[in-house]
Structure 1
Amino acid sequence: MAVHVYSITFKDHPLRLGDLDGVGTPPTRLRTVSAGPLCAVVSDAPDEELPLGQREFGAYEEVQKRLMADGTVLPLTFGYSAPDDEAVRLALEARADEFADRLGKLEGCVEYDLKASQDEEMLLGEILSESEAARRLNDRVRDGTSDPTAAPRLRELVAVETRARQKALASGVIEALRPFAREIDSTRPDGADFLSVSFLVNEEQDELFLATELSLAHQMGEGFDFRLDGPLPPYSFR
Protein backbone atom coordinates (compact mmCIF):
# COMPACT_ATOMS: atom_id res chain seq x y z
CA MET A 1 0.00 0.00 0.00
CA ALA A 2 1.17 3.53 -0.77
CA VAL A 3 2.30 5.63 2.18
CA HIS A 4 2.54 9.30 3.04
CA VAL A 5 6.02 10.26 4.24
CA TYR A 6 6.11 13.12 6.76
CA SER A 7 9.64 13.44 8.07
CA ILE A 8 13.05 11.89 8.48
CA THR A 9 14.81 11.77 11.85
CA PHE A 10 17.61 9.85 13.47
CA LYS A 11 16.43 6.53 14.93
CA ASP A 12 17.23 7.64 18.49
CA HIS A 13 14.62 10.43 18.28
CA PRO A 14 11.90 9.98 21.01
CA LEU A 15 9.15 9.87 18.32
CA ARG A 16 6.26 10.68 20.68
CA LEU A 17 3.52 10.31 18.08
CA GLY A 18 1.04 7.99 19.79
CA ASP A 19 -1.64 10.65 20.37
CA LEU A 20 -1.38 12.22 16.89
CA ASP A 21 -3.31 11.33 13.75
CA GLY A 22 -1.96 11.23 10.24
CA VAL A 23 -3.57 12.79 7.19
CA GLY A 24 -6.58 11.29 5.47
CA THR A 25 -10.28 10.74 6.13
CA PRO A 26 -10.68 8.90 8.37
CA PRO A 27 -7.34 9.86 9.98
CA THR A 28 -4.57 7.33 9.48
CA ARG A 29 -2.23 5.87 12.10
CA LEU A 30 1.34 7.09 12.20
CA ARG A 31 4.22 4.61 12.26
CA THR A 32 7.92 4.53 11.46
CA VAL A 33 10.16 2.88 8.89
CA SER A 34 13.81 2.49 9.86
CA ALA A 35 17.05 1.83 8.01
CA GLY A 36 20.45 2.07 9.65
CA PRO A 37 20.61 5.22 11.83
CA LEU A 38 17.63 6.85 10.12
CA CYS A 39 13.90 6.71 10.59
CA ALA A 40 10.97 7.97 8.49
CA VAL A 41 7.55 8.81 9.89
CA VAL A 42 4.80 7.48 7.58
CA SER A 43 1.13 6.55 7.43
CA ASP A 44 -0.97 4.57 4.98
CA ALA A 45 -2.20 6.56 2.00
CA PRO A 46 -5.83 6.02 0.96
CA ASP A 47 -6.56 5.12 -2.64
CA GLU A 48 -8.20 8.47 -3.38
CA GLU A 49 -6.14 11.62 -3.83
CA LEU A 50 -5.24 13.43 -0.61
CA PRO A 51 -7.50 16.49 -0.15
CA LEU A 52 -5.55 19.70 0.32
CA GLY A 53 -7.74 20.97 3.16
CA GLN A 54 -6.93 22.70 6.43
CA ARG A 55 -7.41 19.51 8.45
CA GLU A 56 -4.89 17.64 6.34
CA PHE A 57 -2.26 20.34 6.48
CA GLY A 58 -2.94 20.81 10.19
CA ALA A 59 -2.27 17.12 10.83
CA TYR A 60 0.96 17.34 8.83
CA GLU A 61 2.09 20.40 10.82
CA GLU A 62 1.31 18.78 14.16
CA VAL A 63 3.61 15.89 13.30
CA GLN A 64 6.45 18.26 12.37
CA LYS A 65 6.03 20.42 15.47
CA ARG A 66 5.94 17.43 17.81
CA LEU A 67 9.10 16.01 16.27
CA MET A 68 10.82 19.41 16.40
CA ALA A 69 9.97 19.77 20.10
CA ASP A 70 11.85 16.56 20.92
CA GLY A 71 14.81 16.67 18.53
CA THR A 72 16.03 17.24 15.01
CA VAL A 73 13.61 16.72 12.13
CA LEU A 74 13.89 16.90 8.36
CA PRO A 75 10.33 17.65 7.16
CA LEU A 76 9.36 16.40 3.74
CA THR A 77 7.00 18.28 1.44
CA PHE A 78 3.33 18.08 2.41
CA GLY A 79 1.66 15.28 0.43
CA TYR A 80 4.92 13.45 -0.36
CA SER A 81 4.21 9.74 -0.90
CA ALA A 82 6.01 6.49 -1.70
CA PRO A 83 4.74 3.18 -3.15
CA ASP A 84 5.17 1.26 0.13
CA ASP A 85 7.29 0.85 3.26
CA GLU A 86 9.98 -1.00 1.37
CA ALA A 87 10.42 1.90 -1.06
CA VAL A 88 10.88 4.23 1.92
CA ARG A 89 13.43 1.88 3.49
CA LEU A 90 15.40 1.64 0.24
CA ALA A 91 15.41 5.44 -0.11
CA LEU A 92 16.74 5.80 3.44
CA GLU A 93 19.51 3.35 2.66
CA ALA A 94 20.41 4.84 -0.73
CA ARG A 95 20.52 8.43 0.55
CA ALA A 96 21.70 7.72 4.08
CA ASP A 97 24.74 10.00 3.92
CA GLU A 98 22.75 12.85 2.37
CA PHE A 99 19.95 12.65 4.95
CA ALA A 100 22.35 12.26 7.88
CA ASP A 101 24.37 15.26 6.70
CA ARG A 102 21.24 17.39 6.39
CA LEU A 103 19.98 16.35 9.81
CA GLY A 104 23.37 17.23 11.26
CA LYS A 105 23.16 20.74 9.81
CA LEU A 106 19.63 21.19 11.17
CA GLU A 107 20.48 20.01 14.67
CA GLY A 108 19.48 22.50 17.34
CA CYS A 109 17.91 24.87 14.80
CA VAL A 110 14.48 26.30 14.10
CA GLU A 111 13.11 28.37 11.25
CA TYR A 112 11.82 31.93 11.40
CA ASP A 113 9.95 33.43 8.44
CA LEU A 114 10.01 37.21 8.11
CA LYS A 115 7.89 39.33 5.77
CA ALA A 116 7.90 43.13 5.68
CA SER A 117 6.11 45.90 3.84
CA GLN A 118 6.18 49.71 3.81
CA ASP A 119 3.15 51.99 3.68
CA GLU A 120 2.72 52.95 0.01
CA GLU A 121 1.85 56.60 0.66
CA MET A 122 4.87 56.93 2.92
CA LEU A 123 7.11 55.45 0.24
CA LEU A 124 5.69 57.71 -2.46
CA GLY A 125 6.19 60.73 -0.23
CA GLU A 126 9.84 59.80 0.28
CA ILE A 127 10.38 59.43 -3.47
CA LEU A 128 8.77 62.79 -4.29
CA SER A 129 10.71 64.44 -1.48
CA GLU A 130 14.11 63.03 -2.38
CA SER A 131 13.95 62.68 -6.19
CA GLU A 132 14.02 66.02 -7.99
CA ALA A 133 13.06 64.41 -11.30
CA ALA A 134 10.01 62.69 -9.78
CA ARG A 135 8.97 65.83 -7.95
CA ARG A 136 9.23 67.96 -11.09
CA LEU A 137 7.15 65.51 -13.14
CA ASN A 138 4.58 65.21 -10.37
CA ASP A 139 4.18 69.00 -10.18
CA ARG A 140 3.65 69.24 -13.93
CA VAL A 141 1.06 66.47 -13.91
CA ARG A 142 -0.82 68.08 -11.02
CA ASP A 143 -0.91 71.62 -12.46
CA GLY A 144 -1.93 70.41 -15.92
CA THR A 145 1.09 71.80 -17.75
CA SER A 146 2.59 68.46 -18.72
CA ASP A 147 2.61 66.74 -22.08
CA PRO A 148 0.75 63.40 -22.46
CA THR A 149 3.89 61.39 -21.75
CA ALA A 150 4.53 62.92 -18.33
CA ALA A 151 2.17 60.70 -16.32
CA PRO A 152 3.53 57.41 -17.78
CA ARG A 153 7.09 58.67 -17.25
CA LEU A 154 6.28 59.53 -13.64
CA ARG A 155 4.80 56.09 -13.03
CA GLU A 156 7.88 54.43 -14.50
CA LEU A 157 10.23 56.63 -12.48
CA VAL A 158 8.33 55.88 -9.27
CA ALA A 159 8.38 52.14 -10.07
CA VAL A 160 12.15 52.20 -10.63
CA GLU A 161 12.73 54.17 -7.42
CA THR A 162 10.43 51.82 -5.49
CA ARG A 163 12.31 48.72 -6.65
CA ALA A 164 15.68 50.24 -5.80
CA ARG A 165 14.60 51.42 -2.37
CA GLN A 166 12.87 48.16 -1.48
CA LYS A 167 15.87 46.14 -2.62
CA ALA A 168 18.11 48.23 -0.38
CA LEU A 169 15.70 47.89 2.56
CA ALA A 170 15.50 44.10 2.15
CA SER A 171 19.27 43.81 1.91
CA GLY A 172 19.74 45.91 5.03
CA VAL A 173 17.35 43.81 7.10
CA ILE A 174 18.88 40.54 5.94
CA GLU A 175 22.43 41.71 6.63
CA ALA A 176 21.47 42.87 10.13
CA LEU A 177 20.06 39.43 10.94
CA ARG A 178 22.62 37.34 9.04
CA PRO A 179 25.06 36.98 11.99
CA PHE A 180 22.42 35.07 13.96
CA ALA A 181 21.38 32.63 11.21
CA ARG A 182 23.07 29.43 10.12
CA GLU A 183 21.36 29.60 6.69
CA ILE A 184 19.09 32.07 4.87
CA ASP A 185 16.53 31.44 2.13
CA SER A 186 14.99 34.44 0.34
CA THR A 187 11.92 34.17 -1.86
CA ARG A 188 10.15 36.63 -4.15
CA PRO A 189 7.89 38.86 -2.01
CA ASP A 190 4.14 38.92 -2.68
CA GLY A 191 1.88 41.93 -2.97
CA ALA A 192 3.12 45.02 -1.15
CA ASP A 193 5.89 43.16 0.68
CA PHE A 194 9.48 44.11 -0.03
CA LEU A 195 10.89 41.22 2.01
CA SER A 196 10.16 37.50 2.27
CA VAL A 197 12.98 35.55 3.87
CA SER A 198 13.48 32.47 6.05
CA PHE A 199 16.24 32.14 8.63
CA LEU A 200 17.64 28.91 10.08
CA VAL A 201 18.54 29.93 13.62
CA ASN A 202 20.52 27.92 16.14
CA GLU A 203 18.94 27.80 19.60
CA GLU A 204 22.05 29.51 21.02
CA GLN A 205 21.38 32.54 18.78
CA ASP A 206 17.60 32.54 19.19
CA GLU A 207 17.30 35.36 21.72
CA LEU A 208 19.76 37.60 19.88
CA PHE A 209 17.94 37.00 16.60
CA LEU A 210 14.56 37.89 18.09
CA ALA A 211 15.90 40.95 19.90
CA THR A 212 17.59 42.23 16.75
CA GLU A 213 14.47 41.71 14.62
CA LEU A 214 12.36 43.60 17.17
CA SER A 215 14.92 46.41 17.31
CA LEU A 216 14.92 46.71 13.51
CA ALA A 217 11.13 46.94 13.42
CA HIS A 218 11.17 49.70 16.03
CA GLN A 219 13.96 51.62 14.31
CA MET A 220 12.20 51.60 10.94
CA GLY A 221 9.04 53.02 12.51
CA GLU A 222 5.27 52.91 12.16
CA GLY A 223 5.25 53.06 8.38
CA PHE A 224 6.70 49.54 8.24
CA ASP A 225 4.92 46.27 8.94
CA PHE A 226 7.19 43.41 10.09
CA ARG A 227 5.55 39.96 10.38
CA LEU A 228 7.65 37.24 12.00
CA ASP A 229 6.45 33.62 12.12
CA GLY A 230 8.22 31.05 14.24
CA PRO A 231 9.80 29.09 15.68
CA LEU A 232 8.89 26.58 12.96
CA PRO A 233 10.23 23.25 11.75
CA PRO A 234 12.87 23.88 9.07
CA TYR A 235 10.50 23.70 6.09
CA SER A 236 12.64 25.99 3.92
CA PHE A 237 15.90 24.15 4.61
CA ARG A 238 15.10 20.51 3.84
Structure 2
Amino acid sequence: MPTYIYAITGADHPLPLGGLHGVGDPPAELRTLRTDLLAAVVSEAPDGLRAKRRDVMAHQNVLEALMAGGATLPMRFGLVGPGDDEVVAALDREADAYRERLAQLDGRVEYNLKAGRDEDDLLREIMTESDEIRQLNERTRARGSHDDRVALGELVAREVTARGQREAEDVAARLADAATHSSHAEPAPQQFLNLSFLVPRAETDAFVAAVRREAEERGDAYSFTLTGPLPPYSFV
Protein backbone atom coordinates (compact mmCIF):
# COMPACT_ATOMS: atom_id res chain seq x y z
CA MET A 1 0.00 0.00 0.00
CA PRO A 2 1.56 3.37 -1.02
CA THR A 3 2.30 5.75 1.83
CA TYR A 4 1.52 9.48 1.66
CA ILE A 5 4.18 11.53 3.45
CA TYR A 6 3.44 14.88 5.11
CA ALA A 7 6.59 15.70 7.04
CA ILE A 8 9.70 14.44 8.82
CA THR A 9 10.64 15.51 12.35
CA GLY A 10 13.02 14.51 15.10
CA ALA A 11 11.95 11.45 17.12
CA ASP A 12 11.29 13.62 20.18
CA HIS A 13 9.24 16.23 18.30
CA PRO A 14 5.68 16.82 19.60
CA LEU A 15 3.13 15.27 17.26
CA PRO A 16 -0.14 17.10 17.99
CA LEU A 17 -2.29 15.26 15.46
CA GLY A 18 -5.52 15.08 17.46
CA GLY A 19 -8.39 16.61 15.52
CA LEU A 20 -6.43 16.58 12.25
CA HIS A 21 -6.98 14.31 9.29
CA GLY A 22 -5.14 13.40 6.15
CA VAL A 23 -5.86 13.77 2.46
CA GLY A 24 -8.51 11.87 0.56
CA ASP A 25 -12.26 11.36 0.59
CA PRO A 26 -13.04 10.07 3.12
CA PRO A 27 -10.05 11.66 4.89
CA ALA A 28 -7.20 9.27 5.63
CA GLU A 29 -6.18 8.63 9.22
CA LEU A 30 -2.83 10.11 10.19
CA ARG A 31 -0.15 7.95 11.78
CA THR A 32 3.56 8.11 12.51
CA LEU A 33 6.49 5.98 11.44
CA ARG A 34 9.50 6.09 13.77
CA THR A 35 13.15 5.25 13.98
CA ASP A 36 15.47 5.92 16.91
CA LEU A 37 16.25 9.41 15.58
CA LEU A 38 13.39 10.50 13.32
CA ALA A 39 9.65 10.35 12.81
CA ALA A 40 7.51 10.71 9.69
CA VAL A 41 3.84 11.71 9.71
CA VAL A 42 2.05 9.69 7.05
CA SER A 43 -1.26 8.22 5.95
CA GLU A 44 -2.49 5.84 3.31
CA ALA A 45 -2.24 7.37 -0.16
CA PRO A 46 -5.68 7.67 -1.79
CA ASP A 47 -6.11 6.67 -5.41
CA GLY A 48 -6.27 9.45 -7.96
CA LEU A 49 -5.23 12.23 -5.57
CA ARG A 50 -5.54 15.72 -7.07
CA ALA A 51 -4.69 19.13 -5.66
CA LYS A 52 -8.21 19.94 -4.50
CA ARG A 53 -8.60 22.66 -1.91
CA ARG A 54 -9.85 20.16 0.70
CA ASP A 55 -6.75 18.01 0.38
CA VAL A 56 -4.27 20.87 0.07
CA MET A 57 -5.69 22.39 3.26
CA ALA A 58 -5.51 19.04 5.07
CA HIS A 59 -1.84 18.74 4.11
CA GLN A 60 -1.16 22.34 5.16
CA ASN A 61 -2.91 21.94 8.51
CA VAL A 62 -0.71 19.00 9.41
CA LEU A 63 2.41 20.99 8.59
CA GLU A 64 1.30 24.02 10.59
CA ALA A 65 0.55 21.87 13.65
CA LEU A 66 3.98 20.23 13.44
CA MET A 67 5.89 23.46 12.80
CA ALA A 68 4.34 25.02 15.90
CA GLY A 69 6.21 22.40 17.92
CA GLY A 70 9.64 22.87 16.38
CA ALA A 71 11.80 22.06 13.37
CA THR A 72 9.92 20.21 10.63
CA LEU A 73 10.88 19.05 7.15
CA PRO A 74 7.71 19.71 5.14
CA MET A 75 7.04 17.47 2.17
CA ARG A 76 5.34 18.96 -0.87
CA PHE A 77 1.74 18.06 -1.52
CA GLY A 78 1.39 14.74 -3.30
CA LEU A 79 4.61 13.03 -2.17
CA VAL A 80 4.02 9.27 -2.01
CA GLY A 81 6.40 6.50 -0.98
CA PRO A 82 6.13 2.83 -2.01
CA GLY A 83 5.09 1.77 1.50
CA ASP A 84 5.77 2.10 5.22
CA ASP A 85 8.81 -0.19 5.21
CA GLU A 86 10.47 1.80 2.46
CA VAL A 87 9.80 5.10 4.25
CA VAL A 88 11.33 3.76 7.48
CA ALA A 89 14.34 2.48 5.54
CA ALA A 90 14.81 5.93 4.00
CA LEU A 91 14.66 7.55 7.45
CA ASP A 92 17.42 5.22 8.64
CA ARG A 93 19.50 5.58 5.51
CA GLU A 94 19.36 9.39 5.37
CA ALA A 95 19.25 10.05 9.13
CA ASP A 96 22.34 12.25 9.24
CA ALA A 97 21.23 14.40 6.32
CA TYR A 98 17.70 14.81 7.67
CA ARG A 99 18.94 15.73 11.15
CA GLU A 100 21.38 18.27 9.71
CA ARG A 101 18.60 19.88 7.68
CA LEU A 102 16.26 19.92 10.69
CA ALA A 103 18.92 21.81 12.63
CA GLN A 104 19.23 24.34 9.79
CA LEU A 105 15.47 24.91 9.67
CA ASP A 106 14.87 25.06 13.41
CA GLY A 107 13.10 28.31 14.31
CA ARG A 108 12.90 29.49 10.68
CA VAL A 109 10.16 29.99 8.11
CA GLU A 110 10.06 30.71 4.40
CA TYR A 111 8.97 33.86 2.59
CA ASN A 112 8.62 34.01 -1.19
CA LEU A 113 9.17 37.28 -3.02
CA LYS A 114 8.13 37.89 -6.63
CA ALA A 115 8.90 41.17 -8.36
CA GLY A 116 8.15 42.67 -11.73
CA ARG A 117 8.51 46.01 -13.49
CA ASP A 118 6.17 47.94 -15.73
CA GLU A 119 7.18 47.13 -19.30
CA ASP A 120 6.71 50.66 -20.67
CA ASP A 121 8.85 52.09 -17.89
CA LEU A 122 11.61 49.59 -18.60
CA LEU A 123 11.52 50.21 -22.36
CA ARG A 124 11.70 54.00 -21.86
CA GLU A 125 14.79 53.51 -19.72
CA ILE A 126 16.40 51.24 -22.32
CA MET A 127 15.73 53.73 -25.13
CA THR A 128 17.15 56.56 -23.03
CA GLU A 129 20.32 54.78 -21.96
CA SER A 130 21.25 52.68 -25.00
CA ASP A 131 22.50 54.71 -27.98
CA GLU A 132 22.62 51.59 -30.15
CA ILE A 133 19.00 50.66 -29.51
CA ARG A 134 17.77 54.24 -29.82
CA GLN A 135 19.51 54.76 -33.17
CA LEU A 136 18.30 51.41 -34.51
CA ASN A 137 14.76 52.25 -33.39
CA GLU A 138 14.90 55.59 -35.23
CA ARG A 139 16.23 53.90 -38.36
CA THR A 140 13.51 51.26 -38.19
CA ARG A 141 10.82 53.92 -37.86
CA ALA A 142 12.22 55.80 -40.85
CA ARG A 143 12.82 52.89 -43.27
CA GLY A 144 10.78 49.99 -41.93
CA SER A 145 13.40 47.39 -42.90
CA HIS A 146 12.45 43.85 -41.85
CA ASP A 147 16.05 43.07 -40.89
CA ASP A 148 16.23 46.21 -38.77
CA ARG A 149 12.98 45.31 -36.98
CA VAL A 150 14.27 41.81 -36.23
CA ALA A 151 17.60 43.16 -34.99
CA LEU A 152 15.82 45.76 -32.85
CA GLY A 153 13.60 43.14 -31.27
CA GLU A 154 16.56 40.90 -30.47
CA LEU A 155 18.56 43.76 -28.95
CA VAL A 156 15.67 44.91 -26.79
CA ALA A 157 14.92 41.36 -25.63
CA ARG A 158 18.56 40.82 -24.62
CA GLU A 159 18.64 44.13 -22.77
CA VAL A 160 15.38 43.39 -20.94
CA THR A 161 16.80 40.03 -19.81
CA ALA A 162 20.12 41.51 -18.75
CA ARG A 163 18.53 44.33 -16.78
CA GLY A 164 16.12 41.93 -15.11
CA GLN A 165 19.01 39.72 -14.01
CA ARG A 166 20.91 42.70 -12.63
CA GLU A 167 17.88 43.94 -10.73
CA ALA A 168 17.20 40.46 -9.33
CA GLU A 169 20.79 40.23 -8.10
CA ASP A 170 20.55 43.70 -6.59
CA VAL A 171 17.31 42.96 -4.70
CA ALA A 172 18.71 39.66 -3.43
CA ALA A 173 21.90 41.34 -2.20
CA ARG A 174 20.01 44.16 -0.47
CA LEU A 175 17.80 41.69 1.42
CA ALA A 176 20.50 39.10 2.14
CA ASP A 177 21.28 40.40 5.63
CA ALA A 178 17.60 40.06 6.67
CA ALA A 179 17.50 36.29 5.97
CA THR A 180 19.55 33.19 6.70
CA HIS A 181 19.48 31.71 3.19
CA SER A 182 17.81 32.32 -0.16
CA SER A 183 16.76 30.07 -3.03
CA HIS A 184 16.14 31.25 -6.60
CA ALA A 185 13.41 29.90 -8.88
CA GLU A 186 12.51 30.76 -12.47
CA PRO A 187 10.42 33.95 -12.54
CA ALA A 188 7.15 34.06 -14.43
CA PRO A 189 6.80 36.13 -17.62
CA GLN A 190 6.70 39.86 -16.85
CA GLN A 191 8.64 39.26 -13.62
CA PHE A 192 12.38 39.47 -12.99
CA LEU A 193 12.50 37.86 -9.55
CA ASN A 194 11.19 34.70 -7.86
CA LEU A 195 13.18 34.29 -4.67
CA SER A 196 12.52 32.39 -1.46
CA PHE A 197 14.10 33.44 1.83
CA LEU A 198 14.68 31.42 4.97
CA VAL A 199 13.98 33.79 7.86
CA PRO A 200 14.32 33.31 11.63
CA ARG A 201 10.80 33.27 13.03
CA ALA A 202 11.73 35.91 15.60
CA GLU A 203 12.88 38.28 12.83
CA THR A 204 9.96 38.07 10.42
CA ASP A 205 8.71 41.58 11.19
CA ALA A 206 12.12 43.04 10.38
CA PHE A 207 12.30 41.06 7.14
CA VAL A 208 8.85 42.19 6.00
CA ALA A 209 9.81 45.79 6.80
CA ALA A 210 13.00 45.43 4.72
CA VAL A 211 10.99 44.17 1.73
CA ARG A 212 8.53 47.03 2.14
CA ARG A 213 11.36 49.59 2.14
CA GLU A 214 12.83 48.01 -0.98
CA ALA A 215 9.49 48.23 -2.78
CA GLU A 216 8.94 51.84 -1.72
CA GLU A 217 12.42 52.91 -2.85
CA ARG A 218 11.91 51.41 -6.31
CA GLY A 219 8.62 53.18 -6.83
CA ASP A 220 5.29 52.60 -8.53
CA ALA A 221 6.79 51.09 -11.70
CA TYR A 222 7.66 47.98 -9.66
CA SER A 223 5.34 45.36 -8.22
CA PHE A 224 6.48 43.30 -5.22
CA THR A 225 4.45 40.32 -3.99
CA LEU A 226 5.56 38.79 -0.68
CA THR A 227 3.99 35.53 0.52
CA GLY A 228 4.58 34.02 3.96
CA PRO A 229 5.33 32.81 6.47
CA LEU A 230 5.34 29.41 4.76
CA PRO A 231 6.70 25.96 5.55
CA PRO A 232 10.29 26.02 4.26
CA TYR A 233 9.64 23.89 1.17
CA SER A 234 12.43 25.54 -0.84
CA PHE A 235 15.06 24.57 1.72
CA VAL A 236 14.20 20.90 2.39
Percentage of identical aligned residues: 43
Q: CA deviation at 1:31?
A: 1.4
3-state SS, counterpart of residue 171 of structure 2: helix
Alpha-carbon spacing, 1:100–1:147, altered in 2? closer, same or farther (3 Å): same
Partner of 2:138: 139
SS of residue paired to 2:196:
strand
Partner residue of 1:119?
118
* Aligned twin of 1:188: 186
The size of the alignment, in residue pairs, is: 236
Q: 1:158 aligns with which of 156, 159, 171?
A: 156
Aligned CA distance change for structure 1 residues 12 and 147 (closer, same or farther; 3 Å): same
State the Cα distance separating 1:146 from its structure 2 match: 4.4
Moved more, 70-79 or 84-93: 84-93
Letter in 2 for 1:57: V
8 Å CA contact 2:136, 2:152 repeated in 1: yes
Change (3 A) 1:129 1:65: same
Letter in 2 for 1:128: M
Cα deviation code 1:163-192 (max 9, x no counterpart) = 111111000000011112222110111111
Q: Name the CA distance, whole Å, in 2 between partners of 1:189 and 1:207.
A: 25
Aligned to 2:106: 107
Root-mean-square deviation (Å): 1.5
- Within the candidate set 220, 223, 226, 1:225 is matched to 223
Q: CA deviation at 1:204?
A: 3.9
Partner of 1:11: 11
1:84 is aligned to 2:83: yes
Q: List structure 1 segments (4+ residues) > 3 angstroms apart after TM superposition.
A: none
Question: CA separation in 1, counterparts of 2:156 and 2:11?
Answer: 56
| Alpha-carbon shift at residue 17 of structure 1 (Å) | 1.8
Unaligned segments of structure 1, at least 5 residues: none
Distance in 2 between the 1:149 and 1:202 partners?
53
Contact 2:178–2:210 (CA<8 Å) still a contact in 1? no
The normalised TM-score by structure 1 is 0.93
The residue number in structure 2 matching 1:50 is 49
State the partner residue of 1:173.
171
- Structure 1 window deviating more from structure 2 (131-140 vs 149-158): it is 131-140
The one-letter code of the counterpart of 2:140 is V
